[in-house]
Homo-oligomer: A and B are copies of this chain.
Amino acid sequence: MADEKGLTPRAEDFSAWYNEVVLRAELADYSPVRGSMVIRPFGYAIWENMQRALDDKFKATGHQNAYFPLLIPQGFIEREKEHVEGFAPEVAVVTHAGGRELEEPLVIRPTSETIIYSMFAKWVQSYRDLPVLINQWANVVRWEMRTRLFLRTSEFLWQEGHTAHATEAEAEEEALKMLGVYRTFMDEWMAMPPVLGRKSDSERFAGAVRTYSCEAMMQDNRALQAGTSHNLGQNFARQFDLRYQTEDGGEAYAWNTSWGVSTRLIGGLIMTHGDDLGVVVPPRLAPYQVVVVPISRTSEERTTVLEVADRVSDQLRAAGLRIHIDDRENMTPGAKFYEWERKGVPLRLEIGPRDVKRGEFVVVMRRPPAGQEPKISLAEAEGIVAIPGLLDEIQSAMLAAAIERREENSYRGVDDYGEFKEIMAGPGGFVYAGWCGSEECEERVQEETKATIRVLPFEEFRSPTEPDRCIACGGTSIEEAVWARSY
């Protein structure tokens, strides 16, 4: 079995490493359907933890979940001009159903703006009905030619927020607020610190007025677009007749936003934290935060050790932690260590007969904070009290390390295109450089270096000195841009 040999090291082939990690940590698998994946229980449990954290935040900001149809009349997709150009090439089309050819083909939703705003138009009559703040957890299909597990699959799971507001300012505030929610989630749950900003027009969502994005840096120094939030203006409201009676008795179109993150985040998590032994899951998202491995040779030892394992687990569970006792027989402790390491469980507790006698257990950290020993022995009572704090420490240290790595591989003040090309051809990274605002320069840079503008960064991410020249043409820069190769 493939399990017996190690993973391809990241430094040797990052892409091969990634696929091996996903398969061998049993996060996902290829399916018999081209471009579709199967999310296996361990991967799905990470998704469930992501969902819970995000869903709580959506509800805390006043959003409600609902569910809209999977199948959308083809004509709906075609109404918004940019939207159809963006999505028509990648839709899957249902032409037959119930044994007959359909009069109008239906497309499987690639995103749900059209069907959702057609319903909002039915529900919203007056300014009193606004804002409408809806979220949907759903599957979508976008027919991709080149697919990668989690990162780009023909079907994926996501959430899509859709809102309607009475004013442009409220819609803009909402779009930014939800981008902020994503950022908090990526920082504090995923330990995957994104750079935030606006997309250039060429990377805008098809149908949006403005697209905002969270861009995270992977360990190969490429960017991952991890979450986007769109100010849709009145583009969809006009096409779907989403009008309302204003407070002064007039009539106006509503203003919409939409925002989404997907199972792609799991790919981001792997490429942010994984190492040559496997995936490393931040404690707040780990399916199991602690795995207890009882060690024994005789059946008497097994009884004693399992009793302690149960007692310790119960107490940790009572402290709100997710615990698993790996009491499989016919499997060596070493094989178990190896499996949980590969699956990235934050803490392993080893309890053997000698530990029981001493009233201790051994804690092994999958990713110890910088400067700490991975393996420590703790007295039982003391250890139980210490573990929640240890998990918090690991979580914080993972974020700090990711920020440090991101900044080490970010380049500011680059004003020479030769140097820019060398970075992109070499180590890669985020290059903060000037841009004249023209699509021609974006295209030229992409052709020559494969890098694109990931975002026009928000104030807090900008360099102390604004660049004054476009990195490509040398013309006057109108805005600093974060350039990088991306997924």
Residues of A within 8 A of B (CB): 29, 31-33, 36-41, 44-45, 47-48, 64-73, 76, 88-99, 105-106, 108, 115, 118-119, 122-123, 128, 134, 138-139, 141, 143-145, 154-155, 157, 330
Contact = CB atoms under 8 A, between A and B. Distances in A.
Nearest to A108: B94
Given A33-B106, A98-B145, A128-B330, A155 B119 contact: no
Contact of A31 (B47, B48, B115, B141): B115
Q: Majority SS of interface residues in chain A?
A: mixed
Given A29-B119, A92-B97, A93-B95, 9 more contacts: A32-B76, A36-B70, A38-B69, A38-B119, A45-B64, A70-B155, A91-B97, A108-B108, A128-B330
Contacts of A330: 128
Name, among A72, A95, A134, A157, the residue most crowded by chain B CB atoms within 10 Å (CB to CB).
A95
Contacts of A88: 99
A37 B95 contact: no
A45 B68 contact: no
A106 to B, nearest CB: 7
A30 to B, nearest CB: 9
A44 B67 contact: yes
B145 A72 contact: no
A71 B36 contact: yes
A143 B38 contact: no
Contacts of A95: 93-96
Given A29-B122, A73-B33, A143-B98, A67 B39 contact: yes
A105 B97 CA distance: 12
A34 to B, nearest CB: 9
Contact of A99 (B29, B89, B139): B89
B89 A41 contact: no
A465 B125 CA distance: 61
Contacts of A143: 97-99
A56 to B, nearest CB: 12
A65 B48 contact: yes
Nearest to A328: B128
Closest 3 CB pairs of A and B: A98-B143, A41-B64, A36-B69
Nearest to A48: B65
A250 B124 CA distance: 65
Contacts of A134: 41
Contacts of A96: 92-93, 95, 105
A484 to B, nearest CB: 27
Nearest to A114: B32
